[in-house]
């Protein structure tokens, strides 16, 4: 089996942050951290681009427009009812459903956007093969440098990670 990368385990988020910064400075770019809760400092080091707010904005705008067009089409063209001579195109009474659909579409966008950007559902992931990796969702902090990285070398990279105060360093297969 071809190697997926090398996983290093750390006892605290502080040590993980130091290690991730060192790896970034060393020139590694294909790496990822696995932590039991959000560690904001890591995010600054790995610099992911976050598209979600834009997606949610577009989804919300789609919802507003859908709400308006749906109600206008039905109330004015498809099924017009004269209630006491009030205008068919009565925008004030359309506002509630426009608002609700804005929220609904935006929320669906936020939820499914998160899943899609994260590549979920993903029942299998190679890092799960590392021994003791269950701790990544409990109380340990992991850094994985992937084999696809240009600077990756099985010996050197493992040595580099071991020098960063890692409690454990392990090769994982893909």
The residues near 2 (Cβ < 8 Å, ≥ 6 apart) are 147, 173, 174
Q: Which stretch binds other proteins (CB under 8 A): 2-10, 50-58, 149-157, 160-168?
A: 50-58
Return the number of the residue (33 or 157) whose C-beta is nearest other proteins.
33
The residues near 79 (Cβ < 8 Å, ≥ 6 apart) are none
> How far is the C-alpha of 72 from the C-alpha of 50, rounded, in Å?
35
* Residue 58 lies near other proteins (rule: CB under 8 A): no
**Rounded to the nearest 10 degrees, what angle do helices 154-162 and 13-26 cross at?**
140
* Residue 122 lies near other proteins (rule: CB under 8 A): yes
Tokens (6 digits) for 37: 């809760």
> How far is the C-alpha of 49 from the C-alpha of 71, rounded, in Å?
37
> How far is the C-alpha of 69 from the C-alpha of 49, rounded, in Å?
34
Minimum distance from CB of 160 to other proteins (Å)? 19
* Residue 106 lies near other proteins (rule: CB under 8 A): yes
Return the number of the residue (1 or 122) whose C-beta is nearest other proteins.
122
CB-CB contact of 143 with 161 (8 Å): yes
# of chain residues touching other proteins (CB under 8 A) = 62
Q: Which stretch binds other proteins (CB under 8 A): 98-106, 145-153, 154-162, 165-173?
A: 98-106
CB-CB contact of 109 with 56 (8 Å): yes
Tokens (6 digits) for 120: 């979920």
Tokens (6 digits) for 142: 């992991």
Task: Candidates 13, 28, 146, 147: give the one binding other proteins (CB under 8 A).
Answer: 13
Return the number of the residue (25 or 118) whose C-beta is nearest other proteins.
118
Tokens (6 digits) for 91: 């925008």
Return the number of the residue (122 or 155) whose C-beta is nearest other proteins.
122
Q: Interface residues with other proteins (CB under 8 A)?
A: 13, 32-39, 42-43, 46, 48, 50, 52-53, 56, 60, 70-71, 74-75, 78-79, 81, 83, 86, 90, 93-94, 96-97, 99-101, 103-104, 106-108, 110-111, 113-115, 117-118, 120-125, 127-128, 133-139
């Amino acid at each position: 089996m071809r190697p997926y990368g090398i996983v290093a385990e750390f006892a605290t988020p502080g040590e993980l942050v130091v290690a991730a910064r060192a790896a970034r400075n060393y020139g590694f770019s294909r790496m990822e951290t696995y932590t039991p809760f959000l560690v904001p400092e890591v995010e600054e080091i790995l610099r992911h681009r976050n598209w979600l707010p834009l997606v949610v904005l577009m989804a919300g705008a789609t919802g507003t427009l859908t709400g308006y067009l749906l109600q206008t089409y039905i109330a004015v063209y498809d099924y017009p009812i004269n209630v006491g001579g009030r205008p068919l195109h009565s925008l004030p009474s359309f506002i509630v459903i426009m608002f609700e659909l804005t929220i609904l579409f935006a929320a669906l966008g936020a939820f499914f956007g998160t899943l899609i950007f994260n590549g979920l559902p993903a029942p299998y992931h190679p890092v799960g093969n590392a021994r003791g990796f269950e701790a990544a969702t409990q109380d340990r902090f992991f850094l994985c440098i992937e084999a696809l990285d240009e600077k990756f070398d099985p010996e050197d990279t493992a040595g580099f990670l071991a020098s960063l105060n890692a409690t454990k360093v392990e090769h994982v297969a893909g």
